[in-house]
């Protein structure tokens, strides 16, 4: 699979190579050794936000989280091609906003030659989305419905279905994927963002919590354990993906429960730089209270030649900077 395109700006891919060891504490019925893996945090090729992550395990398993906006399918395919990846074993859609599923839609609509295994999600029904459009205070508008219908049409075009998730543990390769939270149709406030799944990837050493675009109401559901008893005890993680790109996301106490060492912030630097977006300031303050300072443990992006700022101490093994020039 070869993808050719031109772009005058310089973009960067930050790879977190999380080197893991085998531990009996993570043994399963397969007695399969725990993989080492790389986490790719991809920026959008637009000037807006997106969410796009790739996990590649030592044994060759590949997992994509969301993939980004429609335009971002080009960059996603370029990265897969650069690393000789011609398949995706599992593709997780955190929720049904186009800055998350758009790249997958383009790949399916265009019949691009990429082998995709199971597509996972916890997606609202078409009737529910339509009902939210007709209900005040849900944040659902006609544009959301249009993009969601396009998402469903791309699945139909390609003969694919979403494997609907439930709260459970899964193993992909040597990694454990803990599905901690799925769509709750009872939450109508900020309805689609709050349909986000919460998923924790773990091994014997590291843990990463993915939160999609979760916002305040869903965070209360988790913290109060109104749906899933015991979920709070499973939140603590070494890495956390900042919810909703840092914009009016989860309540501050959520991050206190997660107690992360490092924060993955998938958004333009201007949103959390020296003059941050107004809605991200409290997130920065909360993380700083947890000891995650901007000059210490943010994994973040910025404009310019070095688009990604990676300031995790070099004691973390496998940290790699990469720059890509499009010409």
**pLDDT, position 183:** 98
Contacting residues for 233 by C-beta, under 8 A, at least 6 apart: none
Q: According to DSSP H, which parts of the chain are helical?
A: 73-82, 98-109, 126-133, 142-158, 216-223, 252-258, 281-289
| Cβ pair 276, 288 in contact under 8 A | no
**pLDDT, position 104:** 98
**pLDDT, position 110:** 97
- Considering the domain boundaries, does residue 5 fall inside one? no
Q: How many domains does the chain have?
A: 1
- Considering the domain boundaries, does residue 56 fall inside one? yes
| Cβ pair 325, 10 in contact under 8 A | yes
User: For residue 183, which of 169, 170, 197, 193 has the smallest C-alpha distance?
Assistant: 197
Q: Which CATH number belongs to the domain containing residue 149 in this structure?
A: 3.60.15.10
**pLDDT, position 271:** 64
Q: Is the four-CA dihedral 144, 150, 104, 128 of positive or negative sign?
A: positive
Mean pLDDT, consecutive 10-residue stretches, the chain (327 aa), reads 39 41 34 61 81 86 96 91 92 98 98 97 97 96 97 98 97 93 97 97 85 96 95 92 87 88 74 66 75 53 28 31 27
- Considering the domain boundaries, does residue 1 fall inside one? no
- Considering the domain boundaries, does residue 2 fall inside one? no
**pLDDT, position 278:** 73
- Considering the domain boundaries, does residue 3 fall inside one? no
**pLDDT, position 30:** 40
- Considering the domain boundaries, does residue 293 fall inside one? yes
**pLDDT, position 282:** 75
- Considering the domain boundaries, does residue 55 fall inside one? yes
| Cβ pair 108, 135 in contact under 8 A | no
Tokens coding 124? 């609202």
Domain encompassing residue 160: 10-325
| Cβ pair 195, 182 in contact under 8 A | no
């Amino acid at each position: 699979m070869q993808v050719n395109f031109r772009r005058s700006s310089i973009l960067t891919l930050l790879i977190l190579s999380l080197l893991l060891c085998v531990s009996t504490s993570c043994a399963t019925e397969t007695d399969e050794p725990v993989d080492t893996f790389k986490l790719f945090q991809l920026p959008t090729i637009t000037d807006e936000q997106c969410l796009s992550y790739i996990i590649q395990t030592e044994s060759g398993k590949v997992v994509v989280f969301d993939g980004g906006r429609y335009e971002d399918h080009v960059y996603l395919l370029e990265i897969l091609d650069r690393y000789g990846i011609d398949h995706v074993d599992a593709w997780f859609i955190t929720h049904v906003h186009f800055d998350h599923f758009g790249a997958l839609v383009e790949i399916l609509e265009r019949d691009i030659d990429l082998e995709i295994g199971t597509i996972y999600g916890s997606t609202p029904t078409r009737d529910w989305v339509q009902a939210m459009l007709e209900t005040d205070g849900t944040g659902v508008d006609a544009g959301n419905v249009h993009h969601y219908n396009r998402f469903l049409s791309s699945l139909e075009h390609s003969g694919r279905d979403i494997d609907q998730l439930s709260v459970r543990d899964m193993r992909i390769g040597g990694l454990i994927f803990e599905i901690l939270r799925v769509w709750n149709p009872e939450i109508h406030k900020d309805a689609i963002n709050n349909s986000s799944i919460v998923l924790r990837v773990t091994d014997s050493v590291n843990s990463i919590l993915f939160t999609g675009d979760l916002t305040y109401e869903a965070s209360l559901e988790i913290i109060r354990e109104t749906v899933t008893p015991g979920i709070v005890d499973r939140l603590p993680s070494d890495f956390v993906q900042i919810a909703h790109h840092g914009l009016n996301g989860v309540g501050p106490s959520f991050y206190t429960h997660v107690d992360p060492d490092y924060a993955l912030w998938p958004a333009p630097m201007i949103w959390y730089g020296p003059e941050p977006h107004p809605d991200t300031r409290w997130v920065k303050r909360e993380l700083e209270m947890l000891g995650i300072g901007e000059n210490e443990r943010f994994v973040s992006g910025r404009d310019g030649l070095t688009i990604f700022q990676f300031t995790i101490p070099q004691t973390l093994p496998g940290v790699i900077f990469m720059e890509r020039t499009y010409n």
